[in-house]
């Protein structure tokens, strides 16, 4: 898997991604402490609003800004987005009101909504070989999961000698390092769409129209719902399961979240071999089966299990949910690459970025509001139903196809020209 790092361009881009992710992790910890300083017991409401603003920026802003910068060179777009993110993070230590958090978070996440799809759509152009690209996707998944484990530990260590405001400086440094790595990297030139200049509205909706016309991408759209359900349950309600239901100490919260990350990382390590042997459809739809089953187990395991075993059931379920998520998330960019040309790729990646985050606008309230009002069992049940609906949509949209031999990935030959049709329409 690490052989892909021999490509110097990808190595520098991957380093930029990793350092920026660590900086973002420090931001998450520091932002929670800042919210508590400003709002006290209402800090959860402040963070919940900030999270909603983040998702709205991802869903509503990403397609528009991508349409506006689509014909610009990638390098200045990436550098500019990183500099905006660094500037916004630098503002956070000086905030004194909750509304200021919301304004800064909107601008910071809007810059992330500009950077991330442009960055992701660039990697297939850097790594044209399919095996290399698959290994890069596994490395990227590992980077996200490692960030979830490393950043909180690093933040805890730094907080023993620094105030939380200094953590924001780590975030600034991460974004500046990312910008520097892009500056020193020779990026490939990306082909622009042929034909007359399209309107901003046409470019804004192009990615979504390509999604709708391609059966495999429609399946991916349904799979986004499947992924959002366990992610929302784990991120929102793990603390309630651990502290309120199981009466475990604070340190066990980190252990439970780590099990979710370890399950995801383990699948990411073996994903390249599994994809070469079984293909995208078999691997991704396996996750679509595993996740609803494991979520169903989370509806009432602590109450039905014999005394003392609920903790181990929780760890096992969280591990399985993390593994199931990774079977969908790790290969998903392969579908985006195959359903796009170099010219339409930024639009397709942006559509996936926006549409996948739209699913969390549904999943987070189900996990949080229903869990608080009706109990964790009902929240898990509704998220299980959401995952089942997504799984059904994924299977119906991506029917079985003939393969050209063992180890050959399925090709959606009927739908392959969809992105060209959408680009011309």
In this prediction, residue 190 carries a pLDDT of 66
In this prediction, residue 302 carries a pLDDT of 55
Q: What angle, 0 to 180 degrees and rounded to 10, lies between the N-to-C axes of helices 345-365 and 43-56?
A: 150
- For the residues 112-131, what does the mean pLDDT come to? 87
Q: Is the distance from CB of 87 to CB of 179 less than 8 angstroms?
A: no
In this prediction, residue 408 carries a pLDDT of 42
Higher pLDDT, 41 or 228: 228
Mean pLDDT, the chain, integer? 83
pTM beyond 0.85: the answer is no
Highest mean pLDDT among 44-48, 55-59, 95-99, 282-286: 282-286
The pLDDT tens digits for 286-308 are: 999 999 999 998 887 555 556 56
> What sign for the dihedral angle of Cα 19, 332, 133, 191?
negative
Q: Is the distance from CB of 88 to CB of 27 less than 8 angstroms?
A: no
Least trusted range by pLDDT, from 55-69, 73-87, 221-235: 55-69
Least trusted range by pLDDT, from 140-144, 159-163, 198-202, 392-396: 198-202
The CATH fold assigned to 214-425 is Growth Hormone; Chain: A; (1.20.1250)
* Alpha-carbon gap, residue 289 to 268, rounded angstroms: 18
Question: If pLDDT is split at 50, 70 and 90, which confidence band does 255 have?
Answer: confident
Question: If pLDDT is split at 50, 70 and 90, which confidence band does 54 have?
Answer: confident
Residue with tokens 């953590």: 167
In this prediction, residue 335 carries a pLDDT of 94
Domains 1-190 and 214-425 agree in fold: yes
Inform me whether the pLDDT recorded for 417 exceeds 50.
no
Q: Is the distance from CB of 366 to CB of 383 less than 8 angstroms?
A: yes
In this prediction, residue 411 carries a pLDDT of 43
Least trusted range by pLDDT, from 5-9, 366-370, 403-407: 403-407
Alpha helices in 184-309 (DSSP H): 200-213, 215-240, 251-297, 301-304
Question: If pLDDT is split at 50, 70 and 90, which confidence band does 405 have?
Answer: very low
- For the residues 363-379, what does the mean pLDDT come to? 84
Least trusted range by pLDDT, from 35-49, 132-146, 150-164, 332-346: 35-49
The pLDDT tens digits for 330-368 are: 999 999 999 988 888 888 998 898 899 899 988 888 888
In this prediction, residue 197 carries a pLDDT of 52
Inform me whether the pLDDT recorded for 182 exceeds 50.
yes
> If we measure between CA atoms, which residue out of 310, 304, 296, 308 comes closest to residue 386?
296
Domain ranges in the chain are 1-190, 214-425
Inform me whether the pLDDT recorded for 196 exceeds 60.
no
- For the residues 377-400, what does the mean pLDDT come to? 93
Higher pLDDT, 352 or 158: 352
Higher pLDDT, 405 or 96: 96
The pLDDT tens digits for 272-289 are: 999 999 999 999 999 999
> If we measure between CA atoms, which residue out of 144, 109, 110, 126 comes closest to residue 74?
126
Q: Which CATH class is domain 1-190?
A: mainly alpha
């Amino acid at each position: 898997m690490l052989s892909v790092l021999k490509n110097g361009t990808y190595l520098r881009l991957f380093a930029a991604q990793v350092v920026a992710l660590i900086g973002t992790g420090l931001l998450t910890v520091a932002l929670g402490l800042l919210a508590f300083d400003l709002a006290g017991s209402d800090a959860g409401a402040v963070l919940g609003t900030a999270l909603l603003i983040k998702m709205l920026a991802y869903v509503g802003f990403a397609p528009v800004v991508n349409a506006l910068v689509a014909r610009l060179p990638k390098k200045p777009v990436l550098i500019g987005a990183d500099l905006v993110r660094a500037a916004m993070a630098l503002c956070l230590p000086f905030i004194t009101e909750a509304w200021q958090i919301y304004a800064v978070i909107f601008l910071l996440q809007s810059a992330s909504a500009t950077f991330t799809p442009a960055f992701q759509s660039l990697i297939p152009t850097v790594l044209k070989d399919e095996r290399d690209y698959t290994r890069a996707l596994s490395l990227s998944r590992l980077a996200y999961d490692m960030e979830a484990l490393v950043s909180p530990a690093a933040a805890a260590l730094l907080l023993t000698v620094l105030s939380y405001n200094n953590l924001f400086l780590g975030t600034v440094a991460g974004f500046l390092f990312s910008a520097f790595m892009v500056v020193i990297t020779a990026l490939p030139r990306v082909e622009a769409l042929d034909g007359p200049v399209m309107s901003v509205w046409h470019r804004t909706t192009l990615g979504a129209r390509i999604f709708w016309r391609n059966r495999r991408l429609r399946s991916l759209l349904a799979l986004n719902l499947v992924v959002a359900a366990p992610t929302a349950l784990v991120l929102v309600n793990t603390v309630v399961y651990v502290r309120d239901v199981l009466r475990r100490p604070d340190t066990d919260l980190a252990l439970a979240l780590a099990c979710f990350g370890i399950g995801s990382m383990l699948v990411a390590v073996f994903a390249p071999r599994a994809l070469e042997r079984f293909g995208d459809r078999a691997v991704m739809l396996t996750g679509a089966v595993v996740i609803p089953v494991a979520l169903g187990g989370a509806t009432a395991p602590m109450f039905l299990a014999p005394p003392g075993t609920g903790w181990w059931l929780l760890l096992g379920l969280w591990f399985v949910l993390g593994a199931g998520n990774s079977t969908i998330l790790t290969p998903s960019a392969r579908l985006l690459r195959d359903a796009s040309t170099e010219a339409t790729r930024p639009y397709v990646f942006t559509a996936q970025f926006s549409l996948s985050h739209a699913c969390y606008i549904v999943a987070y309230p189900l996990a949080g509001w229903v869990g608080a009002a009706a109990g964790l069992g009902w929240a898990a049940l509704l998220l299980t139903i959401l995952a089942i609906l997504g799984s059904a949509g994924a299977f119906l949209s991506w029917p079985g196809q003939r393969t050209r031999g063992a180890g050959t990935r399925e090709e959606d030959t009927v739908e392959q020209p969809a992105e060209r049709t959408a680009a011309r329409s």
